[in-house]
Every structure is written in structure tokens, then in C-alpha cells.
Amino acid sequence: MIEHLKRRQDFLAAAAALVCARKGCVVQARVRDDQDEPRIGFTVTRKLGNAVVRNRIKRRLREAVRVASGLDLRRGHDYVFIGRAATLAQDFKDLMGDIVSATQRLNDGKGDPPRPRGRTRSGRGRAGTLK
């Protein structure tokens, strides 16, 4: 059985690893120092809606990961699936295809590097906020 990520520290470590974005979701994959079972986590930003909407997106992602055929989650890896606005509206088979193609790309080491977090070039923390 696949273990779920629960600690913020694990989600932040995955955020610093390779990323692959698709229409239906974004997948982050981190290689751990062990050969234990793969771990997965699901998250949705507050920008997408209230708790009801965010939970619907997470439930849809969890189910797509559960039933996706051809999904190769490797031992010693953490995978974080990030919901997008299109996750709710996208056809379920297309969502499963996005998940499978993103994880295959990450397993091949072809993901994009993570986006820099923290300070921007302007010296401000978040865009549009003043210090």
C-alpha cells in the first residue's frame, strides 16, 4: 500500500525537486535516500476556491491516481499531485492520461526544475505586496 505524505516538511522537499505540469495537474517528484515504498501527497491552492471546491479537486485527483493504468510510482520517491482549475472540468480519462504522462516524464528525469521561491528580483517577497 502506498503511504501518503502528511508533514509540511515532506511537501516542501518535493517542491524543491523536479516538476512536470499538465493541463489537469502538476506533479512534483523527489528522490529519497531509501528504497521504501513510494509516497504520495495531494494539495490544492486556496486560490481555486473554498474548501468544498478544493476537496472535490483532491478527491478527483486521488481517484485518478488510484485507477490510472500504467502509472509507475517508483520505490524511494515522493510524488505530490497539485490540483488545478482544469482538474474539475477535464474529462476523467484525460486527467488520468495527464497523471501518467507527467509521472513517466519525471521518472525519466525530464521534468522542469522547480520555480524559485521567496524573494523576487524586485526585492519584494510576494508579487504585489510591500514590505
* Number of domains comprising the chain: 1
Is 114 part of any domain?
no
Is 55 part of any domain?
yes
Question: What CATH number is given to the structural domain containing 65?
Answer: 3.30.230.10
Is 118 part of any domain?
no
Is 18 part of any domain?
yes
pLDDT digits (tens, 9 = 90+) for 55-112: 999 999 999 999 988 889 999 999 999 999 999 999 999 999 999 999 999 999 888 8
8 Å CB contact between 17 and 68: no
Beta bridge partners of 31: 77
Q: Is the dihedral of CA 49, 51, 56, 59 positive or negative?
A: positive
Beta bridge partners of 27: 20, 81
What domain range is 20 assigned to?
3-107
Q: Is the pLDDT of residue 129 over 60?
A: no
Is 53 part of any domain?
yes
Is 122 part of any domain?
no
Cα 70 to Cα 73: distance, rounded to the nearest angstrom: 10
Is 90 part of any domain?
yes
Among 34-43, 94-103, 114-123, which is the least confidently predicted range? Answer: 114-123
Q: Is the pLDDT of residue 120 over 90?
A: no
**Among 24, 131, 22, 27, residue whose Cα is nearest residue 78:** 27
> Which three three-digit cell numbers place residue 85?
482549475
Is 98 part of any domain?
yes
8 Å CB contact between 77 and 38: yes
